[in-house]
């Protein structure tokens, strides 16, 4: 787990580096999110600001890269790893946003002082291109029935005989993912038009292209995720293999989705550029003053769009001036906080709740987070004491450097329940009528005490 988290942190830093390289590069008459005309791009003040921003970003990346490694100290405690990860992520984006905001404000002040504005472009007719693209329309909504139907395949497998609840879990994940793709598709394919030019035909064509390619991207992503989750049902009988493939599929789908959106975005932008080059007149919309918080938020009451292109050219952001935009940002923020707090709380409970065994009349209860278990004394067939644990494969539970908790496939014993601290031998192996239970207290002396009490119960039988 620790290695995966470290890789995630490195990927986050790479994403920040990539985003910063785009921001500090003069492209589309924009640098650091501020529109600058071509005749001013070589201004000494601008070059000085960009140079300072690049230098600070390199220092920022180096410092946060060094701050990855303290997480290795917590390798035995997933709860502390997760907590450190989220705190680290918060400060990465907070610091990066503050850094960019400061240099952007300086650049905006220079722009105001010099009264820099956009410049007109000289182009040729676009009549032939308009005719060629007049039938470009978004993918129809009914096509999304295909991924929705595919997402029901695990349910059909469940109904047909394999009564494994994981199949319903797969179908639910697939259905929710398809719903998410459909919602984004609906926003992008039927949202407010973007004004690219004074020319109505140019605006019509560019908006058709943008909507068409956006609808293609999210339809392809929906098909990919529904087929992937449906395919996972083929491995349902081997839980160890299934959960490993499931983790890989999730990672691949995320990467595939990001790459697909980026490629489609580039494709539509290139087509729009070609159209803009063919029109007689063109203009630059200077909306720099509507971006707040280092380009994190867009707030323009004169713009009716809910989704607008991000200044980094990587995806979209919400217009907080719109009601739907505010609702989306507030709800997603609250939901994210709830998920993060719940996740940290869950791992803290798992890491710091001690396994215990309680004897109540003829019942033995094992208290443990989430996976507590109880059994009758009459179900005990035999007990053993062992200093070593056999090889185990997790079915449903938690396996960390410190403990094993939950349901496992144990070599030589089959499906068993584990409640052991790996470095605290000895371990009690309880054979029951329906399987095996492995138990080991954090205190070896307590483990021996429980073993003696269980031995007396067997003798009394």
What are the pLDDT digits (tens) for 139-181?
Answer: 888 889 999 999 888 888 877 766 677 888 888 888 888 998 8
Mean pLDDT calculated for residue range 328-345 = 86
pLDDT at 71: 92
In this prediction, residue 389 carries a pLDDT of: 92
Mean pLDDT throughout 346-370? 89
pLDDT in tens, 79-117: 999 999 999 999 999 999 899 989 988 998 898 888 776
Domain presence at residue 337: no
Q: What is the DSSP string of 82-102?
A: HHHHHHHHHHHHHHHHHHHHH
Helix/strand/coil percent split, the chain, to 5: 60, 15, 25
Residue 336 φ then ψ, to 5°: -65, -45
Q: How much is the pLDDT for 17?
A: 92
Decide: helix, strand or coil at residue 461: coil
Contact 383, 429 (CB under 8 A): yes
pLDDT at 186: 85
The count of other CB atoms within 10 Å of the CB of residue 192 is: 14
Query: For residue 436, is it within any domain?
Result: yes
pTM for the full predicted model:
0.63
pLDDT computed for residue 409 by the predictor? 92
Could you write out the DSSP letters of every residue in 387-414?
Answer: SSPPPEEEEEEEE-SSEEEEEEEETTTE
Asked, for residue 377, whether it belongs to a domain, the answer is yes
Q: Is the pLDDT of residue 122 over 50?
A: no
Residue 201 belongs to some domain of the structure = no
Collapsing DSSP to helix, strand or coil, 94 comes out as helix
Cα 363 to Cα 379: distance, rounded to the nearest angstrom: 10
Residue 239 belongs to some domain of the structure: no
pLDDT over threshold 50, residue 437: yes
Tell me the C-alpha distance between 20 and 41, whole Å: 18
* Stretch among 63-67, 303-307, 335-339, 393-397 having the lowest mean pLDDT: 303-307
What is the reported pLDDT for 124? 39
Query: How far is CA 408 from each of CA 144, 388, 426, 437, 450, rounded to the nearest angstrom?
Result: 39, 16, 19, 10, 22
Q: Is residue 413 part of a domain?
A: yes
- Distance (Å, rounded) from C-alpha 246 to C-alpha 229? 8
Confidence band, pLDDT 50/70/90 cuts, at residue 293: low
- Distance, CA of 103 to CA of 97 (rounded, Å): 10
| pLDDT value of position 361 | 79
In a domain, 245, yes or no: no
Position 366 scores a pLDDT of 93
Tell me which residue range forms the domain holding 382: 353-460
Task: Kindly state whether residue 187 falls inside one of the protein's structural domains.
Answer: no
pLDDT at 116: 76
Mean pLDDT, rounded, for 411-430: 93
Residue 279 is predicted with a pLDDT of 62
Domains: count for the chain: 1
pLDDT at residue 283, as a whole number: 43
pLDDT at 87: 95
Q: How far is CA 391 from CA 211, 404, 421, 450, in A?
A: 54, 12, 14, 24
Residue 233 in contact with residue 239, Cβ under 8 Å?
no
More confident position, 244 or 423? 423
In percent, the amount of the chain with pLDDT more than 70 equals 87
């Amino acid at each position: 787990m620790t290695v995966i988290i470290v890789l995630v942190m490195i990927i986050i830093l790479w994403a920040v580096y990539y985003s910063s390289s785009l921001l500090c590069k003069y492209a589309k008459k924009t640098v650091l999110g501020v529109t600058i005309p071509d005749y001013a791009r070589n201004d000494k003040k601008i070059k000085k600001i960009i140079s300072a921003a690049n230098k600070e970003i390199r220092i920022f990346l180096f410092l946060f890269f060094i701050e990855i490694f303290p997480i290795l100290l917590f390798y035995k405690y997933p709860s502390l790893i997760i907590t450190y990860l989220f705190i680290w992520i918060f400060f990465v984006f907070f610091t990066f946003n503050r850094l960019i905001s400061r240099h952007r404000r300086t650049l905006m002040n220079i722009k105001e002082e010099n009264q820099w504005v956009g410049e007109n472009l000289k182009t040729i007719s676009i009549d032939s291109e308009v005719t060629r693209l007049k039938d470009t329309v978004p993918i129809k909504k009914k096509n999304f029935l295909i991924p929705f139907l595919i997402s029901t395949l695990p349910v059909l497998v469940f109904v047909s005989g394999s009564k494994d609840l994981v199949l319903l879990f797969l179908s639910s994940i697939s259905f929710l993912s398809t719903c998410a793709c459909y919602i984004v598709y609906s926003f992008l394919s039927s949202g407010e038009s973007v004004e690219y030019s004074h020319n109505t035909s140019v605006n019509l064509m560019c908006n058709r292209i943008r909507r068409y390619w956006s609808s293609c991207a999210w339809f392809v992503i929906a098909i990919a995720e529904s087929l992937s989750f449906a395919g996972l049902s083929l491995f349902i009988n081997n839980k160890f293999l299934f959960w490993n493939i499931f983790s890989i599929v999730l990672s691949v789908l995320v990467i595939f989705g990001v790459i697909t959106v980026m490629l489609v975005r580039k494709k539509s932008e290139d087509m729009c550029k070609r159209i803009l080059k063919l029109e007689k007149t063109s203009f630059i919309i200077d909306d720099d003053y509507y971006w707040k918080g280092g380009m994190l938020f867009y707030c323009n009451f004169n713009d009716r769009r809910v989704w607008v292109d991000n200044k980094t050219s990587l995806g979209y952001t919400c217009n907080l001036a719109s009601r739907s935009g505010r609702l989306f940002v507030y709800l997603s923020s609250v939901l994210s906080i709830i998920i993060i707090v719940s996740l940290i709380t869950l791992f803290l409970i798992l890491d710091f709740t001690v396994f215990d065994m309680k004897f109540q009349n003829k019942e033995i209860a094992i208290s443990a987070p989430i996976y507590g278990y109880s059994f009758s004394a009459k179900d005990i067939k035999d007990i053993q004491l062992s200093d070593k644990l056999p090889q185990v494969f997790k079915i449903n539970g938690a396996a960390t450097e410190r403990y094993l908790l939950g349901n496992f496939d144990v070599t030589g014993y089959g499906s068993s329940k584990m409640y052991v601290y790996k470095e605290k031998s000895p371990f009690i192996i309880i054979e029951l009528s329906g399987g095996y239970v492995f138990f080991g207290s954090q205190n070896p002396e307590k483990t021996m005490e429980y073993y003696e009490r269980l031995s007396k119960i067997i003798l009394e039988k």
